[in-house]
Amino acid sequence: MLKIRAIDLFCGAGGLTRGLLDAGIEVVAGYDVDKACRYPYEHNNHPAVFKKKSVANVTGKQLAALYPPNCWRVLVGCAPCQPFSKYTQGAEAHKHDKWGLLYEFGRIVRGLMPDVVSMENVPELKRHKVYTDFHDKLVDLGYHVSAHKVYCPDYGIPQQRTRLVLFASLHGAISIIPKTHDEANYPTVRPAIGGLPALKAGEVFAGDPLHRTSSLSGTNLSRIRNSKPGGTWREWPHELVAVCHRSKTGKTYPSVYGRMEWDKPSPTVTTQFFGFGNGRFGHPEQDRAISLREGAVLQSFPPNYAFVKPDEAYCFKTIGRMIGNAVPVTLGAVIGKTITIHGGRHEN
């Protein structure tokens, strides 16, 4: 039987690695520079090992030594998407310190020549030269390449997240597995988080320390009490509307200070999802922003996925960054299933 092993670049807290494991692909190691990711990565994804090292300082030869003999070598990764996000536009995008990391990914591919490569990022990446260069390098190296714009609810993820997923194989054409859902049965917020214990703003559930919420000022408590699921701040009493939203330019941001809707997928979970004023992150009926655990569940992490050692403090900013930056676990499993099916077809 074909043995497939993977290494995860830019692994973060392990969303992509967890998905690959769920799909039956053993992950040898994950690389990231964020030391906070070591515990969640290793604790939840044994036997994968966390390597705190910049991808810029990794060589294909070094990675080759980590794979066992006689296996298909898979290299996956999600280069940090901040340079390519729709929130970082024009010339400013080129000034971002993470701009060159996709070139480093390509350099490692050339040095390792893995059997299969997969890269996940924001769809806006395709508009940039760095993507074209990465794609063309793979083709020049002899890879069969396909790229897919993936709407996460199409694969059972309860979140309106759209991602670019690229596959490249030395063994033949490779394409993402068929969608598992459509508009008639998209997963929604209600079955994802509706069963979690109720909390007030600033509270922590004793049975799960990750199920904790940020506090609200008196003004924001009044604002969320005047918010309806799917509504906007335009429906509030005038005195509650933020000064910046009363201007002509501010009126173009209706989704901040919003509540999610029970029977729709959630909005895209960002690194700031725990703050009511940072997007449509208000709970559908409780007067608070969603909890850290609820954000993780909407990112399809298992309900018991641990992000912090038992004796350490819970920092909203740090944990929010790990959750919001992650590849949704279920999308990781889709990537893994695509690779295992492809491997089965080309085993001989």
Q: In what order do the strands lie in the sheet with 144-151?
A: 49-52, 26-32, 4-9, 72-77, 116-121, 162-169, 144-151
Q: Helical H runs in 232-312? A: 243-246, 292-298
Asked if residues 329 and 158 have their Cβ atoms less than 8 Å apart, the reply is no
Total count of residues recorded for the chain = 348
Catalytic residue among 11, 78, 81, 152: 81
Asked if residues 299 and 323 have their Cβ atoms less than 8 Å apart, the reply is yes
d(CA 306, CA 328) in angstroms, rounded, equals 15
Task: Classify residue 91 as exposed, middle or buried by CB count within 10 Å of its CB (0-12, 13-18, 19+).
Answer: exposed
Using DSSP bridges, classify how beta strands 4-9 and 72-77 pair: parallel, antiparallel or unpaired.
parallel
Task: Classify residue 185 as exposed, middle or buried by CB count within 10 Å of its CB (0-12, 13-18, 19+).
Answer: exposed
81 is catalytic: yes
Q: What are the Cα distances from residue 305, in Å, to 28, 155, 347? A: 19, 21, 34
Q: Which contacts qualify for 121-127: CB closer than 8 Å, 24 or more apart? A: 121/78, 121/79, 121/81, 121/84, 121/163, 121/164, 122/81, 122/84, 122/85, 122/86, 122/163, 122/164, 123/149, 123/162, 123/163, 123/164, 124/84, 124/85, 124/86, 125/81, 125/84, 125/164, 126/164, 127/84
Structure token pair of residue 289: 């922003």
d(CA 156, CA 330) in angstroms, rounded, equals 7
Type of residue found at 324: G
Which helix H or strand E contains 168, and what residues bound it?
A: strand 162-169
In angstroms, the first-to-last Cα distance of the chain is 10
Active-site residues: which are they? 81
